[in-house]
Amino acid sequence: MATLSHTQQRPPLLRQAIKIRRSRVQELQDPLPQTTQEIEPPSHQFSPEERVLLYEEALYTVLHRLGKPEPNHVQEASDLLGYLQEAFHVGPEEHQQRLQQVQELQKPIFCLKATVKQAKGILGKDVSGFSDPYCLLGIEQGVGVPAGTPGSQRQQKAVVKHTIPEEQTHRTQVIAQTLNPVWDETFILEFEDISNSSFHLDMWDLDTVESVRQKLGELTDLHGLRRIFKEARKDKGQDDFLGNVVLRLQDLHCREDQWYPLEPCTETYPDRGQCHLQFQLIHKRRATAASRTQPSYTVHLHLLQQFVSHEVTQHQAGSTSWDGSLKIQAATILFLHATQKDLSDFHQSMAQWLAYSRVYQSLEFPSSCLLHPITSIEYQWIQGRLKEEQLEELATSFSSLLAYGLSLIRRFRTVFPLSVSDSPARLQSLLRVLVQMCKMKAFRELCPDSAPLPHLVTEALRNGTVEWFHLKQQHHQPMVQGMLEASKALLSLVQDIVGDLHQCKHTWNKIFHNALKINLFSMAFLKLQWLVAKRVQDHTAAAVSGPVSLEMGESLFQLYISLKELSQLGPVPSERDGVLALEGFHHWFQPAIPSWLQKTYSVALARVQRAVQMDKLMPLGELTKHSTSAVDLSTCFAQISQTAQQLDWPDPEEAFMITVKFVEDTCRLALVYCSLIKARACELAAGQKDQGHAANMLCVVVNDMEQLRLVIGRLPTQLAWEALEQRVGAVLEQGQLQNTLHAQLQGALAGLSHEIRTGVHTLAEQLEVGIAKHIRNLVGVRESILLEDAILPLMKFLEVELCYMNTNLVQENFNSLLTLLWTHTLTVLVEVASSQRSCPLASGRLKIALQNLEICFYAEGCGLPPEALHTATFKALQRDLELQAASSQELIQKYFCARLQQQAETTFEELGAVTVKASYHNSEQKLRVELLSASSLLPLDSNGSSDPFVQLTLEPRHEFPELAPRETQKHKKDLHPLFDETFEFLVPAVSCQKDWACLLLTVLDHDTLGADDLEGEAFLPLCSVHGLNETEPGEVPQTRLPLTYPTLNGDPILQLLESRKGDHEAQVFVKLRRQRAKQAYQHAPQPGQQQWKLGMGLGP
């Protein structure tokens, strides 16, 4: 059975209630035919006699432990004995008595189970280059050598032959002609004392007597000839030593599986390959009563079962959930027992399955713990491995767990309640266990007559659904007989059914479908709707036969809504197998519709009148600017819309008439509210001398109108007009719905919108004059005035005025006002900025003013959103002011940043390209530039060629004022010159790390009589130079830079620098750039002219 997680633990009272419910559930339910034979699960408890024998077996296992402890196991025997005392609930005196009795028992025969798997990389001793290897192995006893002494790593030959008696020596088969033999042979080696016993393995090459002619026939190389001479010197038929492995038994773990190097007897061939060995320290002739009378597998099963029961009980006592993991002490004891008894992995898996499945049916723990033994049994299943009684025991466990699981599934609503967060995971885990179990080859062979699991689960779910319905019906049975009480009881029953179907649809159905392809929801819906339909039809027929009271009408309306929700949960008509019992259930309630509509309008009208009469026309708060009556009106309209949505009458023509009634009532209430709120404003304003208070009330009235407009605007969505129009299209004349619903609604919305716009425009016009005045005054302030002081009057004006409007207008009206003011403010700023284009100081003030105005109108998210602020006008103005306010050097820096960006985006080489290697040496603070070559240059001379050279300049010049431009040698008539020249610039690293710092490579065509012609420019960013951020540059990569042309006209930075007539640095820079652009335009290439112009930024 599934259980709770550690974070969501099931309370003890809930566990007790579930157990009581399981025992009494059959008394409360109708008897149903059993689809699965109920099998009484075997008890997980042992008799006192069995516990004594099992305790003796566990103590014997701990006391006669062999080998080094595993890294993740308990090392101290006292810890293991203490855990056994706790797990078996043995007192101290009884424990000492049992322990002494076990110590007096005869010791077992200690054995080393050694498996020689294979070897690799051994020496080739034969003429052919291979060997015929075999192994001799045994245990040398009585020679205890302390670890680390010289003798512990002694190298010796023929250890097994010379030191171990022949009757204790074991030999593997001979594998002919190989360097990688595979034996996979197992030997049982007995020993007495593990502390002074050693395992020895010698590997030999079998040498048979052959003639010289045979050996020469196998000769393949000079090494083989050398082996022939060597064998001639030794005795005939003497085997060759290949290596050995010597291990102290006390250094071995209970189980070992690894490769060991073959040790040499001399240093001639130190690398002799490796041998793969497996070891297991086991017992023979154990003296315990359980080992003498019971199979090893059965004893191990009982021991595991005792530990699992103890772990689960301990966690339940502490109101926590067991996660399926045994304590490290239990795992250590089980490992030792299985190893000492030489229990196979398959029998261990089977024991784990039987122990866990038995305890699972009695105690609560996660069913996922059963998956591992299922997988292990399936992976290793061979029926012939088990005896007849073991096969019968395994089959019984399968049948018992299947019957128990089906009983839980039948009652899954109570066993796995959704009030406990991990219930779905627990049920999913249970289904997964049952599915995996039924898929096992073992299950199919041992339980061949079992019905398919989906069929068994479906029957259990169907029977469980009927049982659950009867329990719920009995639970809601009214104590007092009466029509109203019966109606309320039936309503509660239907609501419980709807809730259950929602859980089936959204939670349980997915679990059952994923596990078994079972549609739980469809099955439960068909069964439950049939059970509900007859009861509801009989009740409504009696309820509407006479006058319907207010209370009864409300109860019938709620019952109708619940039935509608229940019916909507079912499949669509096209997917149904037949007519549902709930088909056309709305006809049962038709006589009650007029009373429902009249009650809805009467309640809403009374609430509106009461709300306006109590309204003081004061804002509800800083964020809510409308008054209390607007809130009540919105609530009334929402209730009307909710009633219409809940009703959702299926008949199209009747649904249209009901919607017309709802819209008519809503518009009537809106007109009544407008008249009442205006009258209320006049009533409160009469006798008021404070004009500001009167203005505040008018703002509140406008806000209330805005709220009313928003509410009415949502009416088509709330009443689902679009869906209604599609439904009634076949029964109404074309345009009838537009004339009756949309026209009336649009007229009301248009009138309200006009009144709101008029008021907002009036407020905006009063503020626009003041904003324009303060902006124009800003640029005329003296230079000695601080920027903060110059902009302060504008910001104070906006703060006072906008704060007042924000206080008295709702957000929608305030946003409309802000939008008008923002548009006007940008227009004024653009006009003033154009007149101050050549004045950085004034432009700087306008720039700061724009930033502050943006913050002011954004108002930390309470004003205009960023998309409304960042219009195209704003972005253009921001970009212009950013440039206009910058110094000339900053503009030059921005220019080179733009050229570097253009260089990075240029991929075509229509003007040619240059190849350089640039590196920076931090130790010398030198920039080293190797100009390698240029290629594909344009022919600028009349002879169809050019005389190129390259000018190297570090830009911008104000960053590197002391570094003069460098030039390469001039190459005659060469469009692909190889310069291969190196230049060094003494420049600090901090200057190179700036974004705008670059190496300008200007490729020119040398003219003897006139000015040099421009081939193109390339820009290398210094911040990316190799070695700039490293101690040494290392290998310097080549960089290929396509040549580009400067922009002839239209560059905003150059235009702005040119307008600064009094700035010498700006004029010199612009003159040089214009000269380069003019040179570029004179020699523009004809092929690809369009692409070249785009690269220069000239446009198409």
- Using the 8-state DSSP alphabet, how is residue 507 labeled? I
Decide: pTM greater than 0.75. no
* Cα separation, 434 vs 931, whole angstroms: 76
- Using the 8-state DSSP alphabet, how is residue 860 labeled? G
**Which positions ≥6 away from 759 have C-beta within 8 Å?**
698, 702, 813
Give the residue carrying structure tokens 């002074």: 196
Containing 805, the helix (H) or strand (E) segment is helix 787-808
* Exposure b/e, 8-33, CB count within 10 A at least 16 = b: ebbeeeebeebeeeeeebeeebeeee
- pLDDT of res. 28: 36
**Which positions ≥6 away from 1065 have C-beta within 8 Å?**
888, 889, 892, 958
**Which positions ≥6 away from 792 have C-beta within 8 Å?**
none
| Beta carbons of 355 and 298 less than 8 angstroms apart | no
| Beta carbons of 503 and 418 less than 8 angstroms apart | yes
- pLDDT of res. 985: 92
With CA atoms as reference, report the closest residue to 874 among 862, 863, 866.
866
Backbone angles phi, psi at 377, to 5 degrees: -65, -40
Backbone angles phi, psi at 184, to 5 degrees: 55, 55
Strands 109-120 and 274-284 come out as antiparallel
Give the residue carrying structure tokens 């007042």: 804
- pLDDT of res. 697: 78
Strand runs (DSSP E) across 481-523, as ranges?
Answer: none
CA distances from 524 to 177, 408, 516 (A): 72, 17, 16
Angle, in degrees to the nearest 10, between helices 483-503 and 453-475: 150
Q: Judging by beta carbons within 10 Å of its beta carbon (0-12, 13-18, 19+), is residue 872 exposed, middle or buried?
A: exposed
List Cβ<8 Å contacts ≥24 apart for 1073-1076.
1073/895, 1073/1046, 1076/1002, 1076/1014, 1076/1017, 1076/1046
* Cα separation, 334 vs 344, whole angstroms: 13
User: What's the token pair of residue 564?
Assistant: 């509608």
User: What's the token pair of residue 318?
Assistant: 């502490």
With CA atoms as reference, report the closest residue to 43 among 31, 35, 51.
51
* Cα separation, 873 vs 861, whole angstroms: 21
Which residues are 1005's β-sheet partners?
948, 1013
- pLDDT of res. 283: 92
Q: What's the helix, strand, coil split of the chain in %, to 5? A: 55, 10, 30
Backbone angles phi, psi at 343, to 5 degrees: -85, 130
- pLDDT of res. 1021: 94
- Give 344-393 pLDDT, tens digit per residue: 888 888 888 888 888 888 877 788 888 888 888 888 887 667 788 888 88
- Using the 8-state DSSP alphabet, how is residue 131 labeled? B
User: What's the token pair of residue 4?
Assistant: 């709770």
- pLDDT of res. 229: 54
Tell me the three-class secondary structure of 641-656, residue by residue: HHHHHHHCCCCHHHHH
- pLDDT of res. 164: 85
**Which positions ≥6 away from 66 have C-beta within 8 Å?**
110, 194, 254, 281, 340
User: What's the token pair of residue 750?
Assistant: 């248009």
* Cα separation, 1098 vs 1090, whole angstroms: 9
Chain centroid to CA 671: how far?
53
With CA atoms as reference, report the closest residue to 1039 among 940, 945, 936, 913.
913
* Cα separation, 284 vs 340, whole angstroms: 8
* Cα separation, 498 vs 551, whole angstroms: 23
* Cα separation, 1097 vs 1020, whole angstroms: 19
* Cα separation, 226 vs 245, whole angstroms: 28
Q: Which amino acid, residue 266? A: T
- pLDDT of res. 10: 40
| Beta carbons of 930 and 903 less than 8 angstroms apart | no
Length of the chain (residues)? 1100
* Exposure b/e, 1064-1090, CB count within 10 A at least 16 = b: ebbeebbeebbebbebbbebeeeeeee
Report, as ranges of residue numbers, the positions in the chain whose pLDDT lies below 50: 1-39, 145, 148-155, 1086-1100
- Give 111-170 pLDDT, tens digit per residue: 999 999 999 999 888 888 899 999 999 999 876 545 544 434 444 555 677 788 888 899
